């Protein structure tokens, strides 16, 4: 890890935040289901294409890429949002769209609203052709901003 300053910085930031974190008064607050979303001021949404024939493992890997890449974008561009999201428990919501066009439309809307985002393109080493767009990570950002573009999407 000594050769990766970005990773070292990220680990240091997380360790600092964890040391300052206050315990939740209600342990159930860690769960960010749709019925409990009002407890979270910040969230991240992972949008996955449902028109692709991906295994569950592939979906998980692509969603992981989207989550980490979008979080890193937030850490660089909106560190206050990123820190607040970490303190709250890193709320993530997984939703789906039916096409590449829908995914690209959401990415454009996220950029127009100034939200951190990451569009994921598969390398084509396993299940999909190279350069297939699979997922979009949006946020972490204020929930009301993210909901403007993802609030009506179906859960994955």
pLDDT tens string 94-104: 999 999 999 99
Least confident of 5-9, 18-22, 77-81: 18-22
Q: Is the peptide bond before 140 cis (omega within 30 degrees of 0)?
A: yes
pLDDT digits (tens, 9 = 90+) for 12-66: 666 666 566 554 444 443 445 444 556 899 999 999 999 999 999 999 999 999 9
pLDDT digits (tens, 9 = 90+) for 84-127: 999 999 999 999 999 999 999 999 999 999 999 999 999 999 99
Asked if residue 78 has pLDDT above 50, the reply is yes
Question: Residue 102 in 3-state DSSP?
Answer: helix
Question: Residue 91 in 3-state DSSP?
Answer: coil
User: In the structure encoding, which two tokens stand for residue 22, read together?
Assistant: 């206050």
Q: What is the pLDDT of residue 39?
A: 82
Q: Please say whether the beta carbons of 146 and 76 come within 8 A.
A: no
Tokens 């959401």 — which residue? Answer: 106
Give the whole-angstrom CA distance, residue 109 versus residue 106: 5
Q: Please say whether the beta carbons of 120 and 136 come within 8 A.
A: yes
Q: What is the pLDDT of residue 25?
A: 42
Asked if residue 80 has pLDDT above 90, the reply is yes
139: phi > 0 → left, psi -120 to 50 → alpha, else beta; which? left
135 exposure class (CB count in 10 Å sphere: 0-12, 13-18, 19+): buried
Asked if residue 68 has pLDDT above 70, the reply is yes
């Amino acid at each position: 890890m000594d050769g990766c300053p970005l990773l070292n910085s990220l680990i240091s930031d997380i360790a600092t935040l964890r040391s300052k974190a206050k315990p939740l008064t209600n342990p159930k607050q860690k769960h960010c289901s749709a019925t409990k979303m009002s407890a979270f001021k910040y969230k991240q949404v992972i949008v996955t294409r449902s028109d692709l024939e991906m295994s569950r493992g592939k979906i998980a890997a692509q969603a992981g890429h989207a989550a980490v890449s979008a979080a890193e974008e937030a850490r660089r561009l909106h560190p206050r949002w990123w820190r607040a999201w970490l303190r709250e428990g890193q709320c993530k919501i997984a939703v789906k769209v039916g096409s590449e066009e829908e995914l690209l439309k959401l990415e454009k809307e996220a950029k127009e609203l100034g939200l951190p985002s990451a569009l994921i393109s598969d390398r084509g080493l396993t299940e999909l052709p190279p350069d297939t767009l699979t997922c979009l990570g949006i946020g972490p950002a204020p929930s009301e901003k993210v909901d403007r573009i993802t609030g009506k999407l179906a859960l994955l």
